[in-house]
Structure formats: structure tokens, C-alpha cells
Amino acid sequence: MKLEGKTALVTGAARGIGRGIAEVFAEQGADVAINDIDITGGAADDVVRWIRSRGRRSMAVQADVSDRNGVESMFEKVWKELGHVDILVNNAGIETIIPFLEITDEQWTRVTDVDLRAPWLCSQVFCRRVIAEGRKANIVNIGSIQAAKILPGRTHYAPAKLAIEALTRNTSAEMTPLGIRVNCVHPGFIATDMTSWIQKDPDILSSVVAQISVGRAGEPRDIGKVAAFFASDESDYVTGQSIHVDGGWIFK
Ligand code: NAP
């Protein structure tokens, strides 16, 4: 198992891609903390139960990842309950679709706060702790195909996701010499609640799938498998990289 003996924290992991990553990590031997902005609805606890049923330790931890106090307290709780954290996956994200001429300051700020500033913030708080303990670690950032592909109504979301590439390589340049590798996975079209509006419309769904070489929507675990590779020693000479896991969408 690739992640035996490791502890991971996955943000936004109560459902969707975050849950898929958490499940693959647990199958690969990791203990996994499940963060989400709301852990009262039962979804986060369900993931925790699933991981524990596979013999791994797990906990749910509430935090808005764009709030510094919340992030500090999230890491404090996880470190206390599960011990040191070896892997951070910055997965939590939000997407809204709003025409460029209509978008408000508030809409721009919320999306860029959660999708760009939060991965920077979580990484900084995480790295400070890891370095203070003299340990090695790994960060996996979750970007988007929209770092490379234009979809309408995303003049706030797409720049934030493209910037994740720069965040990845710049953080890598500063942190890898200190023992923390940083890489990024850009998902394509993945079947989650975020894309349910595509999945529910047969016409839109077939037009999107027709553009994907593999011929299907991705599953959250497709992202989990690549994130596990980046988080494991199998990729120990890989850092600062961003990879598209999109079934061949951007290159078709
Ligand atoms: P999702 O189904 O909407 O799940 C995202 C999770 O993150 C939700 O549980 C959400 O909680 C949580 N979250 C949102 N804001 C948060 C915050 N401030 N702090 C903590 N948790 C927060 O989305 P997904 O499809 O799994 O997407 C996961 C990541 O992949 C995102 O970064 C997204 O941009 C990226 N991505 C997805 C796709 C795709 O096709 N699905 C494609 C490219 C990139 P609430 O629902 O309670 O707000």
C-alpha cells in the first residue's frame, strides 16, 4: 500500500472528489481527516464511518478553509486526535457560472477566496507546523481543467484555478528544499454534485462526453488515484507539477 503509516487531511471531503480521494487514501493505508464547511448533515460522518470500517483512523473536522482562525483550529484538532499530518489535499472548492458583465465584487471575492486564497492559507499553516516538527510532507492541490479550457461564465473561477498551477510551482520551489513536495491535479468532467446539472441533461451530457477521448465522465476515485501517486513516495522525484486528469478532454 502506497500510503501505509501516513495521515492525510482532505478539505471539502464530505462528498464528491474529496470523498473519492479520502477513500482511495484509506485503501492505500492512510488515516484520513475529513474537513468540510458543514459537518452537521451526516455526509462527513458517513465518510468517517466508511474509512473506519476499512481499519483506518478518521475524524470529521469543520472549518471554512478560507478563514485563518478556522484553519488554525482545524489543524490543531487533527494534530491532537490523529497525530502529525503528512499529507494535505487542498480540494474544497466552489464554482458558480455568472456572465462576465454581471459578476459582482462579492461573487468574485468568494470564489477566489475559497478556490485560491484557501489553498495558499491551508498550505502555509500546514507547512509551518511540519517544518517546526522537522518532518517531511506532501501537498496535493486540486485545480481544474479550466486552467486550460475556456467555459462560459467562469471569469472568476478559471483564473483562480489557473493560479493554482503557479501556487503549486512557487510553493514547491520554496518548500521542497525543506522536505515538502507540492503537486496539482486538474480534474476534467467528474460526476459530483458540482456537475449534476450536466449529468441531468441528456443533451448537454452527450455533447460533453463526446469531447472526452475516454468516452465517459470521470469518477471521484479517478482523481483519488492520481492524488495518491503524488502523495506517495512513488513520486518522490516529482514536485511543482500540474497534471490534467480529464480522460483526454483538452487534447481531443
Ligand atoms: P462538490 O461536489 O461541490 O464538493 C465540494 C465540497 O467542498 C462540498 O462538500 C462543499 O461543502 C465543500 N466546501 C465548499 N466550500 C468550502 C469551504 N470554504 N471550506 C470547506 N469546505 C468547503 O465539488 P467537487 O466536484 O467534488 O469538486 C471538488 C474540487 O474539484 C473543487 O476544488 C472543484 O473546483 C474541483 N473540480 C471539480 C470538477 C468536477 O467536474 N466535479 C472539475 C474540475 C475541478 P458545501 O457543499 O457544504 O458547501
Assigned domain for 212 exists: yes
Rounded to two decimals, what is the model's pTM?
Answer: 0.98
The candidate with the shortest Cα–Cα distance to 160, out of 180, 139, 141, is: 141
157 pLDDT more than 90: yes
Assigned domain for 11 exists: yes
Which of 21, 68, 90, 192 for a ligand 1 pocket mutation test, highest count of atoms within 8 Å of Cβ? 192
Alpha-carbon distance of 63 to 50, in angstroms, equals 21
- Per the structure, the complete domain to which residue 73 belongs is given by 7-251
CA of 233 to the centre of ligand 1 (A): 27
Residue nearest to atom 33 of ligand 1 (CA): 93
43 pLDDT more than 90: yes
Whether 157 is catalytic: yes
Q: In the chain, what percentage of residues exceed pLDDT 90? A: 99
Q: What is the pLDDT of residues 13-32, one digit of tens each?
A: 999 999 999 999 999 999 99
Q: Between 252 and 37, name the one with better pLDDT.
A: 37
Assigned domain for 36 exists: yes
Instruction: Give the nearest ligand 1 atom to 115 CA.
Output: 32
Neighbours of 237 (CB within 10 A): 6
Assigned domain for 236 exists: yes
The pLDDT value given to residue 252: 84
Helix (H, G, I), strand (E, B) or coil at 201: coil
Q: What is the pLDDT of residues 107-125, one digit of tens each?
A: 999 999 999 999 999 999 9
The pLDDT value given to residue 110: 98
63 pLDDT more than 90: yes
Number of domains in the chain: 1
CA of 90 to the centre of ligand 1 (A): 10
Assigned domain for 1 exists: no
251 pLDDT more than 90: no
Q: 75, 157, 189, 230: which one is catalytic?
A: 157
Q: What is the pLDDT of residues 171-191, one digit of tens each?
A: 999 999 999 999 999 999 999
Strand partners, 137: 180
The pLDDT of 81-104, averaged and rounded, is 98
Q: Indicate which CATH number applies to the domain containing 22.
A: 3.40.50.720
Assigned domain for 132 exists: yes
Assigned domain for 191 exists: yes
Assigned domain for 2 exists: no
